[in-house]
């Protein structure tokens, strides 16, 4: 490969410098910082409406969410003007710093045919360019530092709202019905590992937690036909596979599985009366979080923050539920959940109206 001539080499370096000047023309306007601030503005301004939508779709917990969103909005009203002012001020200074370099470019291009003359100017411009590039990075970091903590608060709050959005969307598509006054708490993508270890063919779907029940609904597309190992036909399968009163959750074991030990698993053991003894799930969320919210649901902790009060008559029905069958006298072992309107005696089949 031939060594480039001094003229070719200097021409390549000038083109490279010209490209960097072009990049800096966008950066000195602090476009990245402006876009980030505008994205945050859009997110904050939409929080109240997003929560209102969840309320209309049946999310009844965390009555303080609206106050949290309003507090974030008030903080942003105070922070935004300072950010905008700082961006405008610093970008003006940076643009003025770039202008001499832009004005020197025609002179540098004209010196392409004289490498010796161009070398000194090129070296000086490269040095100035590097200094300006550092100033732009420092300005971006300085502006980001002005709202970094607030941005993190908004991110965490928005992340939680996205989890609620997933919950209400999945509940709207579910094949099962919620009990009257029952409230959905959380939902997450999950695989029910029937043997305790995830295997091909284990049902994949959604694990739900409400203030009354733990449910798993299979929801996936299953390949029904292959041609040369390529799936040609699929069938959507959606059916409730597990339903258990949350009060019957007895123990929970957490583990990390998978080749890299980065998969969250939770094994749930149920008390007598549940339709299964143990259920092991691979879940797409932190398993410690799920352990905590299941325990909170068992202790009725979520009821303290309900935005919609529980109907007193529904609670009275639970308290008044009989402990023995009025027809045969057998003990009622079925867990009575709020919203149920009847019980069926497991001995004689008699339907007891609540």
Count Cβ atoms below 10 Å from residue 342 Cβ, excluding itself: 8
At residue 4, the pLDDT reads: 67
pLDDT one-digit tens code per residue, 105-162: 887 777 676 777 778 787 888 888 889 999 999 999 999 999 999 999 999 999 999 9
pLDDT one-digit tens code per residue, 343-352: 888 888 888 8
CA separation for the pair 88, 94 (Å, rounded): 10
pLDDT band at 165 (very low <50, low <70, confident <90, very high): very high
Instruction: Say yes or no to pLDDT of 227 above 90.
Output: no
DSSP state of 177: -
At residue 314, the pLDDT reads: 83
Number of residues that this document lists for the chain? 354
At residue 83, the pLDDT reads: 96
Q: Where are the chain's structural domains? A: 6-165, 184-305, 312-353
Instruction: Say yes or no to pLDDT of 78 above 90.
Output: yes
Residue 242 phi, psi dihedral angles, 5° rounding: -145, 135
CA separation for the pair 326, 341 (Å, rounded): 16
Q: Are 241 and 217 in contact (CB under 8 A)?
A: yes
Q: Which CATH topology does 184-305 take?
A: PH-domain like (2.30.29)
> Average per-residue pLDDT in the chain?
90
Of 99, 78, 111, the C-alpha closest to 7 is: 111
Count Cβ atoms below 10 Å from residue 8 Cβ, excluding itself: 13
CA separation for the pair 64, 73 (Å, rounded): 14
pLDDT band at 101 (very low <50, low <70, confident <90, very high): confident
Of 264, 254, 263, 252, the C-alpha closest to 294 is: 252
pLDDT one-digit tens code per residue, 21-66: 888 888 999 999 999 999 999 999 999 999 999 999 999 999 999 9
At residue 151, the pLDDT reads: 97
């Amino acid at each position: 490969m031939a060594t480039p001539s001094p003229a070719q080499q200097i021409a390549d370096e000038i083109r490279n410098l010209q490209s960097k000047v072009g990049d800096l023309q966008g950066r000195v306007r602090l476009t990245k910082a402006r876009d980030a601030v505008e994205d945050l503005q859009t997110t904050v301004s939409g929080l109240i409406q997003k929560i209102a939508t969840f309320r209309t779709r049946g999310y009844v917990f965390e009555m303080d969410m609206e106050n949290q969103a309003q507090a974030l909005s008030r903080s942003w009203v105070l922070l935004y003007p300072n950010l905008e002012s700082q961006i405008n001020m610093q970008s003006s200074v940076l643009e003025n710093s770039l202008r001499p370099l832009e004005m020197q470019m025609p002179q540098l291009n004209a010196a392409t045919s004289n490498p010796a003359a161009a070398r000194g100017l090129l070296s000086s411009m490269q040095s100035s360019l590097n200094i300006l590039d550092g100033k732009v990075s420092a300005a971006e970091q300085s502006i980001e530092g002005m709202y970094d903590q607030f941005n993190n608060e908004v991110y965490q709050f928005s992340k939680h709202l996205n989890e609620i959005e997933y919950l209400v969307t999945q509940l709207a598509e579910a094949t099962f019905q919620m009990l009257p006054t029952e409230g959905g708490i959380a939902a997450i993508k999950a695989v029910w590992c029937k043997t305790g270890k995830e295997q091909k063919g284990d049902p994949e779907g959604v694990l739900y937690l409400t203030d009354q029940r733990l449910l798993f609904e299979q929801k996936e597309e299953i390949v029904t036909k292959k041609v040369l190992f390529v799936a040609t036909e699929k069938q959507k399968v959606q059916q409730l596979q597990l339903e258990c009163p949350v009060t019957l959750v007895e123990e929970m074991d957490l583990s990390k599985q998978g080749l890299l030990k980065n998969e969250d698993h939770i094994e749930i053991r149920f008390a007598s009366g549940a339709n299964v003894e143990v259920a092991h799930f691979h879940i797409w969320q932190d398993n410690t979080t799920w352990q905590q919210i299941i325990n909170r649901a068992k202790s009725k902790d979520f009821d303290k923050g309900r935005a919609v009060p529980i109907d007193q008559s529904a609670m009275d029905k639970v308290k008044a539920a009989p402990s023995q069958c009025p027809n045969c006298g057998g003990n009622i072992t079925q867990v009575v959940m709020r919203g149920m309107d009847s019980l069926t005696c497991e001995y004689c089949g008699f339907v007891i109206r609540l």
